[in-house]
Amino acid sequence: MSWTFRILVMTGALGLSIGTVATAQRPDPVALAAIRAEALSRSQVMDHIGWLSDVYGPRVTGSPAIEQAREWAMERLRSWGVSNVREERFSFGRGWSLVRFHAHMIEPQVMPIIGYPKSWSSSTSGTVTAEAVRIDIRTPADFDRLRGTLRGKIVLSQPEREVRMLEGDLVLRMTDAQLAEAARTQVPSPAATRPNRGRVPFPNLLQEFYVDEGVVAVLDRGSDNFMMGAGSGLPYQTQRTDGGTIFVGRGGPRDETAGSWVPAVTLAVEHYNRMVRILDKGLPVQMELRVDTVFHPEADAAGQMNGFNLLAEIPGSDLADEVVMIGAHFDTTHAGTGATDNAVGVAAMMEVMRILRAIDARPRRTIRLALWGAEEQGLLGSREYVRRHFGDPTTMELQPEHEKLSAYFNIDNGAGQLRGIWLQENYAVAPVFEEWIASMGDLGVTTLGPRRVTGTDHLSFDAVGLPGFQFMQDRLEYNSRTHHSNMDVVDRVQRDDAVQMAVVAATFAYNTAMRDDRLPRKPLPRVDQ
């Protein structure tokens, strides 16, 4: 019997509506049972994911697609009776969209090539046919060696990479041992040395060289075959899958120089390697390539900026001026449809709002949903929101709203069920969360991780001393297959996991909204002098 069916048996007959204001500190079992009953018997989370990903994905900040997704999300929230649905705009830079792409090796044999242009890549001059060459440039000293040899060429910029057999943890559901490790305190790593900001970065110099030399396009096969669980606080290592899975990065700037770099494409490693091996035999390789992209202005004719955060609320009652925030990033990278990164997080948090409205929940504090823009470019949306409403992390000059926020809860680690929550070194909150998760063991929620984890929007809140938390998740195929890849699609989402996310997030949000006191805070961060 699945956990979904067991909980439906326990809660489905309750038919509960929560219309009274509770003032006790302890969790309200009647309300929490109603949340479960609504979430598990009438979930809409997969429908949300389908609209966000299949219909509107990818949702790159500054693109027409993310604006269409915004309109859909705002309409859906309003249809549930969620209040104060609005957007806050911010400056982002030029937007970008892919119009068309294809690539073939045409000599010595024909091979359709699996690949994807990098974000903010410029276009080729229509469909071009050109010779592919393999070069190695490591420093500016290599420029003179190659000068005058690359005009009209397609550059293969990396050596052949070994393609390993798949083994180890490709689908990660956290084991008891990994959960135990997550619950232990970790000594922070030393701070990284900051780069010399006075120098022109080598990638910029390299692009200037490519442009001056008349290079047609630059192709790569992505990074190496392994990655750590970035920002997770866990010591596991996950092998990245090959076989047509492409992890695609950025191919140009989004400022006023957007479109000035040479077109850039990442290829499936197996296809890239074949061309390198042919070149190593002394044989020529001819390619046919088309990259067609479009850049969008930073502001429209009315002066409206192209970055936005989407906000909506369930008003509170006796503590309505205090706020509990939940959120996920609305934007995506460009190669897939953004299902696991992060339509599933957005859908789960939207589903929280639907559930609470459906059961007529009356939270004491206002519950505010935030769907962030431009997370993929460095948490830009959440950082701008925090700066406007709560405080400036560079000066620690705080806004009056800083005192009114109880907590922010974030989802952004893939499509797996939630297994607990990272405390972000806020040890005083542990007894509160421990009591809450005691009722969620049957959902697989068992663990409080004391560590400070990184990589997503809760950091914007933590930077000004606000309680910002990221849920601990099973990564499933997030590290190995879907994160920033062309395989980030709805097929990689597991329905039961997505439903469970909404139940857990709704439980945390409602419990936080109903407490007599706000959640405990850490001391304010120190400002570097």
Which amino acid belongs to residue 433? F
Over residues 28-75, the pLDDT tens digits come to 889 999 999 999 999 999 999 999 999 999 999 999 999 999 999 999
CA–CA dist 11, 30 (Å, integer): 10
Q: Which run of H or E residues covers position 156?
A: strand 154-156
Count the domains in the chain. 2
Query: pTM of the entire structure?
Result: 0.91
Q: How far is CA 8 from CA 360, 425, 427, 445, 501, in A?
A: 19, 35, 34, 17, 16
More confident residue, 515 or 242: 515
How many Cβ atoms are within 10 Å of 316's Cβ, its own excluded?
21
Give, in order, the Cα–Cα distances in Å from 60 to each of 68, 116, 261, 401.
11, 15, 19, 30
Q: Is pLDDT of 95 > 50?
A: yes
Cβ atoms of 446 and 420 closer than 8 Å: yes
Distance CA 255, CA 93 (A): 5
Domain co-membership, 281 together with 159: yes
Kindly give the pairing relationship between strand 226-228 and strand 237-239.
antiparallel
Whole-angstrom distance between the N-terminal and C-terminal Cα of the chain? 59
Residues 290 and 317 occupy one common structural domain: no
pLDDT tier at 488 (50, 70, 90 boundaries)? very high
Domain range spanning residue 380? 3-92+303-414+458-494+510-514
Does 263 lie in the same domain as 209? yes
Backbone angles phi, psi at 224, to 5 degrees: -70, 180
Does residue 40 fall inside a structural domain? Answer: yes
User: Of the candidates 296, 320, 353, which is a domain's last residue?
Assistant: 296
Give yes or no: residues 235 and 339 share one domain. Answer: no
292 and 314 assigned to the same domain? no
In a domain, 282, yes or no: yes
Could you tell me if 27 and 68 lie in one domain?
yes
The pLDDT of residue 9: 33
Residues 153-180: pLDDT tens digits? Answer: 999 999 999 888 777 777 888 888 888 8
Closest Cα partner for 137 from 232, 208, 63, 224?
208
Average pLDDT of the segment spanning 460-466: 98
pLDDT in tens, 399-426: 999 999 999 999 999 999 999 999 999 9
pLDDT digits (tens, 9 = 90+) for 325-366: 999 999 999 999 999 999 999 999 999 999 999 999 999 999
Neighbouring CB atoms inside 10 A of 144's CB total: 8
Last residue of a domain, one of 279, 296, 313: 296
Contact 310, 353 (CB under 8 A): no
CA angle 507, 476, 445 (to 5 degrees): 30
Whether 341 maps to a domain, the answer reads yes
430 is a domain residue: no
Is 60 exceeded by the pLDDT of residue 19? no
Where residue 129 sits, what CATH number does that domain have? 3.50.30.30
Q: Which is nearest to 175 in space by CA: 470, 449, 444?
A: 444
Residue 239 in domain: yes
Instruction: Give the dihedral sign, CA 360/361/365/368.
Output: negative
Residue 409's CATH number = 3.40.630.10
Instruction: Say if residue 75 is in the same domain as residue 110.
Output: no
User: 342 with 490, same domain?
Assistant: yes
Same domain, 14 and 44: yes
Amino acid in the structure at residue 304: Q
Q: How far apart are CA 366 and CA 380, in angstroms?
A: 24
Q: pLDDT-derived band of residue 189, with 50, 70 and 90 as boundaries? A: low
Among 266, 296, 326, the domain boundary falls at: 296
